[in-house]
Structure formats: structure tokens, C-alpha cells
Structure 1
Amino acid sequence: MIVVALLFGFSLAGRAFSQISGYGQCGGIGWSGGTTCVSGWVCTYSNPYFSQCLRPSTTATPSTTSTSTKTSTTVITTSKSTPLSTTATSSAPIATASPWGQCGGQGYNGPTVCSPGWICTVNNAYFSNCYEAVPTGLAANYTFIRADNDESYIQAADPSTVSPLLLTTNPYTAAQCQITAAGQLIQNATGTTLYADVSPPASSNATELFVSWSTLPSTNGLFSISNGTIAWSSPTFSTPTSAWIVCNGGPAYINYNYTYTADCYAENLFPFGGSS
């Protein structure tokens, strides 16, 4: 077993944490970073190992476009002059969750139907949200990235903006990715290029590195394909690693110390060019 030596250590005692940006991690077992979100965002529990900054959930309301109902009576004269009437009725519009918005999860009481062309997709027991229907085929020079153990796929909590890098078994939301010549792992699912960004260790004894999607190129290490798998390397660490871990079906981490708790499992990731 290869142990990648930590070449830097630091104490978090007395450290002043800045506020966490939208979709960033703000809590969980082993988390020692900041716990306060920027204005307009709330630190929201997902599972014992992960909480993140989300917008406060709101109960969706139907469209403000009013629909009037008129009752019209048509009199039909028969041989006995008996009036018969027909009544026109209409039903109230159904509230729908907005694109990328929450549509399910334990404790959620908002709309569970997405807008046309969007699918309510389970991310974990506490959170489902609306994703676009699966695209037809892969874009040129892009590939899916799949895990070797359970056929789960790299994707984003919200493909339209900064959010954690997830590894889930839902193929309908699989990200289309590529590794650029500059060593950047990118996805471009909605026309907005997002870059996989590897965070520094949360503490001196941390064993994993949190990975999220950013609108800016990563400045921490390089991605590559090594022996058919997705690997990450950095001058800070002595050996490249292709080991990843996932805890309770949540965000994926780079496992640079080859250790993990009983609630987590190891994965290797590889390009998958076929249909998801």
C-alpha cells in the first residue's frame, strides 16, 4: 500500500474562517473548516459526513397568471320544451419545481413535479432536484467518467454553477467531461464550462481532499489518465493518486492517504465513451 506523505501540516486552532460560498461544504464528521455561509445561503445537513451551503428552500407557488372560469348554459329545446344545461369547468394549475430546484427528500414539502423537459432525480435520501432530461449522445471530445465498482458516474450537484463533485448511480445526470492538455478536468453540460478543483487538506491529519466544480481553472494540481484511470497529481505530494473515496453516496474525495472509515468506500474512475 502506497502512503502519500503530507508535506505540509498546520494547526487550525485560533484560525479565523471566511464565510463559505454557495454550494460549498460547511459541516460534517471530520470537517474542520468554516461553518457559516455567505449572505442568502444556509448551511444545510445532507448526511453525517456532509453539509453544504444551499439557498433556503421555498414553497413554490403557482403562476400568477389568472385563469377565470365561466359557467355557460346552453338551452336545448325538445318536444316537451325541457331545458338541458351543460357547464364548462377548468382545473387549477399545478405548481412545479424550478429547473435545478429541489423536488424531493426527507422533510421536504414543496412541489415534486418538475417543469416540462426536466426530471426529478434522487441525489440522496435528503435531497432530490430537477435535472434536464438525458442529452442525446456525447459532445465531441467529451466522455462520461464512471466508477469501476458500481457503475456510478461523475456529476455535479448543480451543473449550472459552482457545486460539489458527486459520484452517483444515476446515468441521466452523468456529466460529459474531458481532461484538457493543460491538465484540467472540465465538464460543459449546460454551455458553462466548470473545472474540477481540489481543495487543500482540511486539517493536518486529514486523509482526503474535497473536490468541487468551479467556474475558474484549478490551481491545485493536474488531472491525467494513468493506466486507464483518472489520476490527480501535485508538486505538494510525492506520488500521483488515482484513488477516490465516496462516503454515504455523497461528494467524491481524492484519497491521498489510502485510508477511509467504514461508512466510505474506495473507487477508481475511468473514461466511459459509451452511452450512459
Structure 2
Amino acid sequence: MISLAAISLTALALARNALAQGSAYSQCGGIGWAGATTSVPVTSTPLSYISWSTSSTGITSNPLTSTSATPTSSSGPTSTVPWAAGTATLLPNQLWIRADEDPEFHFYLQSKTLSMSIFYPIYVPRRPDPPTVDSPGDAVISNPATASQNNIVSGQLIQYLPSGGELYLGVYPNATGTTRLKLFWATAPQKNVTWAFQGDGVEGNVPGYTTAATGNFLACTDTSTTAPNIYLDLGAFDYLTPAGCASETLNYYNGATTVT
């Protein structure tokens, strides 16, 4: 026969177990819970997998993985340059050239196409990546961090490459709607355009298209790039500007690093 003492001990053990479970799951007890309110501490799970709980049974909010709206930047036209200043240092006898009018204020002259660094799979022994440098092709204005270093020498607007090579700013010989000439970088000096500084402004003279040097440019977007292409404007500044374009001036800047 089970003694009264044994029954009492069993009842006491059950009460202690219920109390322990109540302490562990107290916050999930629902409306009217009057017991303890201490949540179960999490100590054995790796930090990156912890589910930070309001209760031990389910509703979670993980501060390590929750998301919030993050501002994004665009390399297209904007009245406020979204980039940070560049870190490259201007070399002797070289200049930055940049737009000084909204909406491309302080967008810097450079090549549309940048050479790509080579990335190796993780299992391949690491080798040094080649530097990212400007390449021949369309001229654009874009991020200060990738700005080219330039100067005008003997009528040639030259881009100096980190490798020691040079690119030359030219104009395509056909006018776009007779109002603008698209600019590009070439590996050889250009004969159909003469560049000069007027004060700190860049001017171009293209025989057959301009009767005098002009410092009017157009920054135009197209479907192939988010950085505006640069054109020599054959018309008056900010007059009959084509759709998708903005009138710009290009000016040199000789600070040690690019600024926005």
C-alpha cells in the first residue's frame, strides 16, 4: 500500500516541475498570467543563429538579420553627387576635369569602359589583380573615385594612365542631329579637334563644325550606360537642349584628390 508520505512527496515533485515550466514559459502564458516572467536564457546556440525571442515558444525577431531601408546611389544625373570623394592623389602636371553645372555638378571626366580586374576561384592560389584603368571608348562624366588625370598639351586633351600610357580626347566626325559631337578616347593623337583652356574651362574647336572654340558641352544619358556621355555642344549654352541631355561646362581642378 502506498503510504501518505509517498503521495505527499510525489505531489511536491509535480508542483516543483510545474513551477519550473511556468518560469521557463511564463511570458507565453497568455492574458491573466500571474506567475514569474523570466524568459529562458539562450546560451548554447552560436551567435549568428540565435533566435531572439519574446517567448520560448515561437515569435521571434532577429536583430542580426532584420532589414531596413538603405539609401542607394545612382551614377546617373542628379543634383547631389551621391559618391564619396576619391582617394587617388593627383600627379605633378596633371589635372582633374569635371562638370560644374547641375545636374551633374562635380561629375568627373573619364572613360566609359574600365578594364576589369581578374577574379580567381577560392581554390586557386591568389595572384595580384591587375589595376583598374581607363580604356579607349566613349568619354563620360561619372564617379570621382574613378576620375581620370588629364592635361591639355599642344592642342591635345590627354588622359594619363597608371600604366604610363596615354589616351587622347577626340570627337566623332558626324554630328548628332547637327547639334552635338560625341567625345571619345583614342590611343593616338586626334587631328580633327583642338583643345585649349580658357581660364579653367575646357574649350574645343572642330573645323567644319565650329567657327570658334566653344566651351559648351552636353551630358546625355543613353541605354548603354548610367554615366552621362559627353558631347561638344554646337549650339548656345542651355538653348534648345536635346531631350535626355543637360548643358554643362568642363573645368579643371588641381586639388590633391577629387571632391564632391
- Identify the structure with bigger relative contact order (alpha carbons < 8 Å, sequence gap 6+): 2
For 1:37-186, what aligned pairs fall within 5 Å after superposition?
Answer: 123=75, 136-149=88-101, 150-157=105-112, 158=114, 159-168=133-142, 170-180=143-153, 182-186=154-158
TM-score (structure 2 length as normaliser): 0.51
SS in 2 for 1:240: coil
The residue that corresponds to 1:270 in the other structure is 251
Point out where structure 2 has 5 or more consecutive residues left out of the alignment.
1-72, 78-84, 115-132, 222-226
The residue that corresponds to 1:195 in the other structure is 168
User: Higher strand proportion, which one?
Assistant: 1
The one-letter code of the counterpart of 1:243 is N
SS in 1 for 2:145: helix
The residue that corresponds to 1:250 in the other structure is 228
SS in 1 for 2:228: coil
SS in 2 for 1:251: strand
Q: Does 1:221 align with 2:193?
A: yes
The one-letter code of the counterpart of 1:190 is P
CA distance 1:161–1:262, shift in 2 (3 Å): closer
Of 228, 242, 245, the residue aligned with 1:261 is 242
The one-letter code of the counterpart of 1:212 is F
**8 Å CA contact retained: 1:232, 1:242:** yes
The one-letter code of the counterpart of 1:196 is L
Q: Distance in 2 between matches of 1:273 and 1:190?
A: 18
Q: Distance in 1 between matches of 2:90 and 2:169?
A: 19
Residues 142-191 of structure 1, C-alpha deviations (whole Å, 9 max, x = no match): 010011121111011224431111012x11001100001x1100111322
Give the length in aligned residue pairs: 146
CA distance 1:147–1:261, shift in 2 (3 Å): same
SS in 2 for 1:197: strand
The one-letter code of the counterpart of 1:163 is G
Q: Distance in 1 between matches of 2:100 and 2:76?
A: 20
Residues 3-33 of structure 1, C-alpha deviations (whole Å, 9 max, x = no match): xxxxxxxxxxxxxxxxxxxxxxxxxxxxxxx
CA distance 1:195–1:122, shift in 2 (3 Å): farther
Q: CA RMSD in A?
A: 2.3
TM-score (structure 1 length as normaliser): 0.49
Point out where structure 1 has 5 or more consecutive residues left out of the alignment.
1-120, 126-132
Q: Distance in 1 between matches of 2:136 and 2:99?
A: 22
**8 Å CA contact retained: 1:207, 1:260:** no
